[in-house]
């Protein structure tokens, strides 16, 4: 049985300006011990997808449909009681801003212990011991003293470590990390990513890593989902995505990132702006910015929404271009980037 399987997930919010379809028909699977990266720009629906998995969309005017099966339990239809027992226990989440996600009035020790009480019948002493063990595990120096600290007494990297400790204290099988290192410096980012990888190996956790940084993806992901305008536009294994990208948007992303290991050729940027979710373009959502569009195929791109189709082993793409056209575009674009290196 698949550990996590998401099928045809749809999330929409009704707003004053109309209904926003933030996520439209997202499907993917994830096994234990693996890392799935969701890549996309702001407004692509990557965070909304992950919040749907944690069943955090409870507001009025929000509709979630489709199926999210975690260990055989459907999260979309599960009762609130069932969800409470699952959150923290079977699935947990760490957020981008560790300062906003820790309570400023409580000592970190009691916040960690609370996570233990919520799911296990343990004494105060045992809960504290558990908190201490976890702080030790995430590499906080002097945990005996630090456990009495308030969040503001810790640095950003330390706070993110506390968040990770809290998320993993009950040994969840699924960890969702929503931009876990975006607010941190690069050297601290390296520490936190190492820590996540170590803990993943130890607990065999499945990780959904949401990020916009393709460098982190290249370092940590097994499978990648690229989202644009609320849809999956490409889905592939790590090497296929980086070396055989199919979707013009993925190619555009790869060629527009400045790289540490290459000297300043002009970046090939993607023109235009990401689409507004209220007023999506007709046809392919990427077509107004697509550089691969040619006159022969343009009418189709502008009128017909492409389906996600399988183009290789475990590689899916949402594009009207045929294989030859896609390949030609990808190779010429990426060659332009590498030119002169």
Partner 1 sequence: MSDQEILKVTDLYKKFPITKGALLKKEVGSVNAVNGINLTLNESETLGLVGESGCGKSTAGRVILRLLEPTSGKVEFDGTDITALSRSELVPLRSQMQMIFQDPFSSLNPRHTVGSIIGAPYEVQGIKPAGGVKNAIRETMERVGLNPEHFNRYPNEFSGGQRQRIGIARAVTLRPKFIVCDEPVSALDVSIQAQVINLLQDLQDEFGIAYLFVAHDLSVVRQISNRVAVMYLGHIVEQASRDDLYTHPYHPYTHALLSAVPVPDPKVEAKRERIVLRGDLPSSINLPSGCVFSTRCWQAQDKCHTDVPELQDMGNGHKVACHFPIMEFLGTTLITGPDSGVTAQPDRVVPPPSEVLQSLQSGRATRPKGIDYAEGEKPI
Q: How many CB atoms lie within 10 A of CB 338?
A: 10
| 185 is an interface residue for partner 1 by CB under 8 A | yes
| 158 is an interface residue for partner 1 by CB under 8 A | yes
User: Which residues 201-230 are close enough to bind partner 1 by CB under 8 A?
Assistant: 212-219
Q: Taking a C-beta distance cutoff of 8 angstroms, is the pair 37, 209 a contact?
A: yes
- Element spanning 140, H or E: none
DSSP letters, 272-308, are S-PPPSSSPPSSSTTGGG-SS--TTTHHHHHHSPPPP
Q: Taking a C-beta distance cutoff of 8 angstroms, is the pair 334, 254 a contact?
A: yes
332 vs 341: CA distance, rounded Å: 15
Minimum distance from residue 341 beta carbon to partner 1 (Å): 9
Q: Which of 96, 189, 205, 246 binds partner 1 (CB under 8 A)?
A: 189
Q: Which of 64, 176, 253, 297 binds partner 1 (CB under 8 A)?
A: 253
Minimum distance from residue 180 beta carbon to partner 1 (Å): 13
181 vs 260: CA distance, rounded Å: 18
User: Which residues 16-45 are close enough to bind partner 1 by CB under 8 A?
Assistant: 41-42
Minimum distance from residue 153 beta carbon to partner 1 (Å): 12
Number of residues that bind partner 1 (CB under 8 A): 49
| 260 is an interface residue for partner 1 by CB under 8 A | yes
Q: Which two tokens stand for residue 128?
A: 């504290």
Minimum distance from residue 222 beta carbon to partner 1 (Å): 10
Q: How many CB atoms lie within 10 A of CB 191?
A: 17
Comparison of 17 and 80: residue with beta carbon closer to partner 1? 17
If 0-12 CB within 10 Å is exposed, 13-18 middle and 19+ buried, where does residue 329 land?
buried
Q: Which of 104, 264, 295, 340 binds partner 1 (CB under 8 A)?
A: 264
Q: Which residue has the tokens 């809290």?
A: 166
| 141 is an interface residue for partner 1 by CB under 8 A | yes
Minimum distance from residue 37 beta carbon to partner 1 (Å): 11
Q: Which two tokens stand for residue 296?
A: 């022969």
Comparison of 168 and 214: residue with beta carbon closer to partner 1? 214
Q: Which of 59, 104, 258, 295 binds partner 1 (CB under 8 A)?
A: 258
Helix (H/G/I), strand (E/B), else coil: 310: strand
Comparison of 49 and 170: residue with beta carbon closer to partner 1? 49
Q: Which of 239, 279, 339, 340 binds partner 1 (CB under 8 A)?
A: 239
DSSP conformation class of 147: T
Phi, psi of 237 (to 5 degrees): -75, 165
Stretch that binds partner 1, among 71-79, 126-134, 151-159, 326-334 (CB under 8 A): 151-159
Q: Is 154 left (phi over 0), alpha (psi -120 to 50) or beta?
A: beta
284 vs 24: CA distance, rounded Å: 13
Minimum distance from residue 246 beta carbon to partner 1 (Å): 16
Q: Which of 66, 88, 143, 157 binds partner 1 (CB under 8 A)?
A: 157
174 vs 200: CA distance, rounded Å: 10
| 256 is an interface residue for partner 1 by CB under 8 A | yes
Q: Which of 78, 83, 122, 268 binds partner 1 (CB under 8 A)?
A: 268
Q: Which of 79, 142, 145, 187 binds partner 1 (CB under 8 A)?
A: 187
Q: Which residues bind partner 1 (CB under 8 A)?
A: 41-42, 141, 155-158, 185-191, 193-194, 212-219, 238-239, 242-243, 252-254, 256-264, 266-271, 273-274, 289
């Amino acid at each position: 049985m698949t550990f996590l399987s998401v099928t045809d997930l749809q999330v929409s919010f009704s707003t004053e300006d109309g209904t926003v379809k933030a996520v439209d028909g997202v499907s993917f699977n994830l096994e234990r011990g693996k890392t799935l990266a969701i890549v996309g720009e702001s407004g692509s629906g990557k965070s909304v997808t992950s919040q749907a998995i944690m069943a955090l969309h409870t507001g009025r005017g929000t509709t979630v449909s489709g199926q999210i099966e975690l260990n055989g339990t459907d999260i979309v239809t599960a009762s609130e009681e069932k969800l409470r027992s699952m959150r923290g226990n079977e699935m947990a989440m760490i957020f981008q801003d560790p300062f906003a996600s820790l309570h400023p009035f409580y000592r970190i020790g009691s916040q960690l212990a609370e996570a233990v009480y919520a799911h296990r019948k343990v004494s105060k002493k045992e809960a504290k011991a558990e908190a201490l063990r976890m702080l030790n595990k995430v590499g906080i120096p002097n945990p005996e003293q630090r456990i009495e600290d308030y969040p503001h007494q810790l640095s950003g990297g330390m706070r993110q470590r506390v968040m990770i400790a809290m998320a993993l204290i009950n040994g969840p099988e699924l960890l969702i990390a929503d931009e876990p290192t975006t607010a941190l410096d690069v050297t601290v980012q390296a520490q936190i990513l190492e820590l996540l990888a170590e803990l993943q190996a130890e607990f065999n956790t499945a990780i959904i890593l949401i990020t916009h940084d393709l460098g982190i993806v290249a370092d940590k992901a097994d499978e990648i989902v690229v989202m644009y305008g609320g849809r999956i536009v490409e889905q592939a294994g790590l090497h296929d995505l980086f070396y055989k990208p199919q979707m013009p948007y993925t190619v555009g992303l790869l060629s527009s990132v400045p790289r540490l290991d290459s000297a300043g050729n002009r970046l090939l940027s993607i023109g235009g702006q990401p689409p507004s979710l209220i007023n999506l373009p007709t046809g392919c959502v990427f077509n107004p910015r697509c550089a691969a569009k040619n006159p022969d195929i343009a009418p189709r791109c502008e009128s017909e929404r492409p389906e996600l189709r399988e183009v290789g082993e475990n590689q899916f793409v949402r594009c009207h271009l045929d294989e030859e056209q896609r390949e030609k575009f990808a190779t010429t674009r990426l060659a332009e980037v590498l030119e002169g290196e």
